[in-house]
Amino acid sequence: MRMPRPAPVRRLLDALVAALVLAVVFIASGPPAGAQATQEYRIGPGDKLNITVFGQSDLSGPVVVDGSGRIAFPLLGQIDADGKTLSELQAEITVALNRDFLVDPKVSIEIANYRPFFILGRVNKPGSYPYIEGMSVRMAVALVGGFTRRAREDPVTLIRGDDPAKKSREVGLDEIVLPGDTIQVERRLF
């Protein structure tokens, strides 16, 4: 015959099981939709960066990534930034300054302005627009004044700005837009 467990032990086991279930659900759900885009962000032409070298005001300030993906940096000249993460570019600048010019430089880089996204086709105001972090296709369409009367509203065609092959794919309105992306809204048949 089994004896019932004392109430405090049972409550403890119930709490442990509940915590385990919550942990499994949290891990399985993954990061929020926009979180991965921010963590893996790659610098590209049109991005404006704020570079700070602590204690060196003449080496600090805003820089814009030019059309070839390079930035002009004092003492170091042209640096290729295209396709690098912020931490990769930060490490490259730190190593170059440490090697030839400064002792143990502290470099910080942040995005001041993301490169724009583009929206074409059957929307009221097609063109280039400033990127807003976490923006979905639906939000981008709202930003440009909505769909025209003849627009095929869902799906739309998306070309990722960082895709070297510039492959287009059809996506829904809740797809996250990234800097440099091109959204094409096609005409509906009827």
For the segment 130-151, the average pLDDT, to the nearest whole number, is 94
Block residue for tokens 């105001």: 125
Residue 87: predicted pLDDT? 94
Looking at per-residue confidence, does 168 or 1 come out higher? 168
The 10s digit of each residue's pLDDT in 43-52 is 999 999 999 9
The 10s digit of each residue's pLDDT in 86-132 is 999 999 999 999 998 999 999 999 999 999 999 999 999 999 999 99
pLDDT score of 160 more than 70: yes
Q: Which of 90, 110, 124 is nearest to 50 (CA)?
A: 110
* Pairs from 50-58 (Cβ < 8 Å, separation ≥ 24): 50/109, 50/110, 50/111, 50/112, 51/93, 51/107, 51/108, 51/109, 52/107, 52/108, 52/109, 53/93, 53/97, 53/102, 53/105, 53/106, 53/107, 54/105, 54/106, 54/107, 54/108, 55/106, 56/102, 56/105
The 10s digit of each residue's pLDDT in 20-65 is 544 444 444 444 444 344 457 889 999 999 999 999 999 999 999 9
pLDDT score of 181 more than 80: yes
